[in-house]
Every structure is written in structure tokens, then in C-alpha cells.
Structure 1
Amino acid sequence: MKKRSIRVFGTAMALVMGVMLTACGSSSSDSSGYAKYAATETAADYGVYEEPAAAMEMADTSAGTDGQTQVNDTSRKLIKTVNLDTETEDLDQTVSLIEQKVTGLGGYIESSNIYNGTTYSGRSSRSASITARVPAVNLDSFVDSVEGNTNITRKSVNVDDITLTYVDIESKRNSLRTEEKRLLEILESAETVEDLITVEDKLADVRYELESIESQIRSYDNLVDYSTVYLNIEEVVKFTPVEKESAFSRMGKGFMENLSDVGEAIVDFLVWFVSHIPGLIVFAIVVVIIVLIIRAIVVGSKKKKAKKMQMMYQAAAQNAAPVPSNQAPQQAKEPEKGNDGNK
């Protein structure tokens, strides 16, 4: 009887302890939710997260025939930038055609500037600077159109592969979304005010970082979907040759260029002369007046000198004039009379 009583008592105590342990476990499950999140958060802070399936697809590789690893380019994130220096004979028409082409291809003009100026020879010098955003799928079509309507003097294409950076940012965004969802679940089951405040603060930080990353992803998507084309257009009289010419062609072109320069010089001189006629007339009048004054001074000086010379000649002539003949004998006889008188 004693042994049976002991067994029954032991069984009853075991059942009571089991019920108590179950109740304690259920009551502490809610309060330990934030502690479990804090433990997983530490791992997330060190970058321990699952890589999404999109990242695995982008990084899909296959072994080539040469044994090297080849990356699948179909899902790559490429930012293309094109720089074009062009020449045209009609700037307004070219700018209008480019704007129409960009709009027709589904793009837009990001900025446009037109500059008016003059060269040293007085001719007008006009140019334009355009920044166009064209869908990446239509980039080649747009560049071909520009090359067909203008003379390309410089062309450069730059491709920036941001696939790995984009994958990392997307993975971090997915991790933050998972963390946000977990924080919302904990926020609903939080019982103490301290846990509630802590979870809300952490949720605000996660949402701020998530918005920043999504903004960066949108910026990358825009750069990838719309290629950037920088256009510098210059209006010229004749295009710059892009191919090497023969000696005879260069001589003929040089002769024609020099002949054209001579004609332009004559035209420039006529333009300058006609535009400066009022000043030239005033200058000519001043020169004539000065010449007349100088001439009058010179003539007056010559007259004075001639008059002085004439007076000197007259005085010299009077001093050197001969004595009259009727006076010479009288002068000669006077001493004889005197001699006679004395005698």
C-alpha cells in the first residue's frame, strides 16, 4: 500500500509541475519577443542576411569554352554616357531637329543653352550645349541621327557597370523590409512601455534608412533606363575634314581658302571703311585745315624773306652806284682853282 501511495503521489506531482512549466512558458513567450528580435538584429547589423533570388539571377555565371567564367549580361545594370562635339551650318535647324528626335524616341531635354558671339573678323559665332536623356534602348538610333545631320568632330562613349552595387543595395533593402515587418509584429505584442518605445525608435530608424535606399535605387534605375548624351554644337561656315586628303586636294583647297580669305579681307575692309566714313571725314577736314595753316605760314615766311632780300639788294645797289659824268670834271677842276687863287 505504501509503495502504491508513493507512486500515485509522484505521478500527481509530476503532472502539477508540467502544468506549471507550460503556463510559465506561455506567459514569458510574449515578453521575450523583443529579446529574440534583439539577438537577430545583432546578426543583421553584421550583414548576415539572405541573398535574394534576383541577385542570384544577376550573378548567374557559366563556364566558357576557354575555361573562364562568363557573366550573363541580360540582367546587367549599365549606365551609358555619350559625349558628342558636332558642327553644323544652320544651328537653329539642328537644335530643332535634335529636340524633335529626343521627344520622338521617348526621351527629354535636361538642359539647353545657346551662345551668340563674334569672331575677330567680325563674323557671328554661335554654339549650343544640350544635355539629352534618351531611353537606353534607343541610344544608338539617336546617335546615328545626330551623326547623319551634323559633322562629328569628337565622340566618346562611357559605360559604367553598377550591377554588383545594385545587387548589394537591393539585398539591403529586402533585409530592411524584413526587419520592418518583424518590428511591426513585435510592436503589436509589446506589453511594457519600455519595449514599446524601444521598438518604435528602432522602427523609425529602419524606415528612414529604407526610404534613403529606395531613393538611391530609383536614381540608379533612372540612370540605367535613360542614357545621357552631352551635345556641343558649333555653327561653322565649312566643316572640319575628318579624313586625310591627298596632296593635290590639299593644294586646291588651300588655294581656294586663301582666295576666300582675300575676298573676306576685302569685304571686311569695305565694311570697316563704310562704317568709319563719318570719322574719316572729320579726320580729313582736320588734316586739310592743318595743311592750309602750315602752307600759309610757309608762304608768309617766303614772302618776308623775299622782301628782305629785295631790300638788301636795293641797299647794295645804291651803295655801289657810279658817280655822274657832269660832276666828275667839276670835282677835278676845283683843286686847280684853288691853286690859281693861291698863286
Structure 2
Amino acid sequence: MKKYFKYFTGLMVALMIFTACGSSKKASHVADSSTENKAEYSIADKGGTTSGIGPPLDTSTSNNIQLSNRKIIQNATVEIQTLEFDKSSNDLINKIKAIGGYVENSNVSGKRVDNDTNIQNRHANISARIPAKNFEAFLKDMESIGSVVNQNINSNDITSQYFDTEARLKSLTIQQERLLELLKKSGELKDILEIEKELERVRYEIETLTGTLKKWNNLIDYTTININLYEVQKYKKANPLSLKDKAYYAFVSSIENVIYLFKLIILFIISSIPYLVVLIPILFVIKYFYKNKNLKVKNLLKKDEKDN
């Protein structure tokens, strides 16, 4: 029994080593692929044109960007409870307009029936665009609309992409001007066709990059705020947890952790099956040769003893 346990232990250790090696190789492959993609992107950006017209792109501009010139796209999600739905929704729209913003989307669901015992609370979802300079002040002012129960802010810094795109657009503009000059000086039809083809490609890239910068400028200058306004009958106050509740949640959490551990073990066993299919026959072959070798050694020893 100890012998089989020893074999099983060795098998599991070898399996874990193979699994770890496979994971490290996969991670290394992903990292190498990412590096290659970045390199290809850099080469594609700096390549310019096959004809060699136009200066190479200066992508080092983003390294010299001042903190005050950072390009950041901000958006937020706010959940508000209100006892006066009509007043709060009207005040909200007025506040958005007052600071130079506008409502992009608005949806109201539910219906309030005052003369019936069945009262359905209403819910409004408003997507607003707010000038970036008033973003923080507007969020603070949301407390005057009702009870803010949740607020989530997300910021995306696109400074590097923005200035790299701007530098590329500048380079392409210079390249376009040089192509136009060559087109005026060129007399042969073959040269004219090649220049016009290259000019068409450059113009297409200029239009694409210009559109991208316009889109980014709009997202930077006007932040997006999604506001969920809920009608309630009364505000719910958060009560502190008692010792009994804390013990209950701690017990439930430990049970969930144990279940999660069992799931990991099951997943490990399932993922190990392909390795076991390969390793078990190999171990049997090794065991077979090892036994034969031991038998041969024993036979030789017995023969030597008989000869002596």
C-alpha cells in the first residue's frame, strides 16, 4: 500500500510541475505576442509611405505632456431616491440645462396612482452630457435632488493616444502638401497615377484621424452622467449589524469559501485528466523496465552465488 501511495504521490507532483510549466509557457507566449503587436503598431505608425514622402512620425510627444494638458474622459453613474418624484425630475432637468448641459436620453417607467391603495413607484433613467468643468460641482449638487444611495465615477486617461494621433495627423498633413506639390510638377501619366493613389490613402487617413480627435474632444469636453432616479415612500436607514448577524454572515462566508475550494479541486482534477492519460502509461512502462532490470540483477546475483 505504501508503495502505491509513493507512486501516486510522485505522479501528482509531476503533474503539478507539468501544469505549472504549461501555464508559465502560455503566459510567456501571451507576453511575447503583446510585445510583437506593440512593435508592429509602432512600425506601422512610423512607416509613413512606401514612396518615402513625408517625415517620420514623432511619437515622443506624449512623453513631454504637461499634467495640465492631460486628456481624460470621465463618466459617472448616480442612483438617487426621492420622496417627490415629479419635483426632483424637473429640478434635475433644470440643473442640467442651467450649467450648459443637455439630456441625451430619458426614460420614465412606472405609474403613480394616488387614489388607489396600489401605488407603483416610478423610476427615471436620464443620460446627461455635462461640461467637464462643472462635473464635480454637479455631482455634489445631486444631494439637493434626493438621497444619493450610490455614486460611481470612471475616468479614462487617453492623453498618450490623443497626442500620438494628433502628431500623426500633423505628419500626414505635411505629407499631403508634399504630394500635391509633386503632383503639380509631375508630367508622366504613370507618376501621376501613383501620386494620386498615395494622395487618396493619405486623405483617407487624415479624415479618419480627424474624426477620431473630434469624437475624443466631445467626450473630454462633455462628461456623461447616467442618473437613476427612484421614487420611494420613505428613505431607508442603514442599521448596524448585530453580533448575531455578523456571526451568521461569517459562517455563511466560510461555507462559501469551502465550496469554492472544492470547486477548485474538482477543476484541477478535471484539467489533470489529459496529463494523467499521458503520464500513467509512461509510469507503467518505467515500472515494467525497472522490474525487469531488478529481475536480471537478481538472476545474475543468484548465478554468481551458484558459481561460487
Q: Letter of the 2:138 partner, please give it.
A: F
Aligned in 2, Cα 1:246/1:169: closer, same or farther, shift over 3 Å?
closer
Instruction: Report the alpha carbon displacement of residue 48 of structure 1 after superposing the two structures with TM.
Output: 3.0
Match of 2:71 in 1: 77
Aligned in 2, Cα 1:181/1:47: closer, same or farther, shift over 3 Å?
closer
Find the residue that maps to 2:235 and give its secondary structure: coil
| 2:217 counterpart of 1:213 | no
**Whole-Å separation in 1 of the counterparts to 2:158 and 2:181:** 35
Q: Give the TM-score normalised by the residue count of structure 2.
A: 0.57
Aligned in 2, Cα 1:213/1:181: closer, same or farther, shift over 3 Å?
same
Instruction: Report the alpha carbon displacement of residue 122 of structure 1 after superposing the two structures with TM.
Output: 2.2
RMSD: 2.7
| 2:189 counterpart of 1:159 | no
Q: After the TM superposition, which residues 113-124 of structure 1 pair with which residues of structure 2 at under 5 Å, given as runs?
A: 113-117=107-111, 122-124=118-120
| 2:233 counterpart of 1:237 | yes
Counterpart pick for 1:189 among 185, 190, 210: 185
Query: What 5-or-longer segments of structure 1 have no aligned partner?
Result: 1-38, 62-71, 248-343
Q: Give the number of equivalent residue pairs.
A: 193
Q: Give the TM-score normalised by the residue count of structure 1.
A: 0.52
Find the residue that maps to 2:50 and give its secondary structure: helix
Following TM superposition, where does structure 1 have runs of at least 4 consecutive aligned residues deviating by more than 6 angstroms? 43-47
Q: Select the structure with the greater relative contact order (CA < 8 A; seq sep ≥ 6).
A: 2
Instruction: Report the alpha carbon displacement of residue 102 of structure 1 after superposing the two structures with TM.
Output: 1.0
Find the residue that maps to 2:124 and give its secondary structure: strand
Query: CA deviation digits over 1:163-212, x for unaligned, max 9?
Result: 11111111111111011011100011011111111111211111111101
Aligned in 2, Cα 1:99/1:44: closer, same or farther, shift over 3 Å?
farther
Counterpart pick for 1:93 among 77, 80, 87: 87
**Whole-Å separation in 2 of the counterparts to 1:128 and 1:162:** 31
Match of 2:268 in 1: none
Match of 2:63 in 1: 59
Find the residue that maps to 1:106 and give its secondary structure: coil
**Whole-Å separation in 1 of the counterparts to 2:91 and 2:223:** 19
Query: CA deviation digits over 1:247-294, x for unaligned, max 9?
Result: 9xxxxxxxxxxxxxxxxxxxxxxxxxxxxxxxxxxxxxxxxxxxxxxx
**Whole-Å separation in 2 of the counterparts to 1:181 and 1:113:** 49
Greater Cα radius of gyration, structure 1 or 2: 1
**Whole-Å separation in 1 of the counterparts to 2:127 and 2:162:** 25
Find the residue that maps to 1:167 and give its secondary structure: helix
**Whole-Å separation in 2 of the counterparts to 1:142 and 1:44:** 51
Q: Is the 8 A contact 2:130 2:224 kept in 1?
A: yes
Instruction: Report the alpha carbon displacement of residue 42 of structure 1 after superposing the two structures with TM.
Output: 3.1
Instruction: Report the alpha carbon displacement of residue 43 of structure 1 after superposing the two structures with TM.
Output: 8.0
Aligned in 2, Cα 1:179/1:201: closer, same or farther, shift over 3 Å?
same
Q: After the TM superposition, which residues 137-286 of structure 1 pair with which residues of structure 2 at under 5 Å, given as runs?
A: 137-241=133-237, 243-244=238-239
Q: Letter of the 1:131 partner, please give it.
A: S
Query: What 5-or-longer segments of structure 2 have no aligned partner?
Result: 1-46, 243-308
Q: Letter of the 2:56 partner, please give it.
A: V
Identity of aligned residues (%): 28
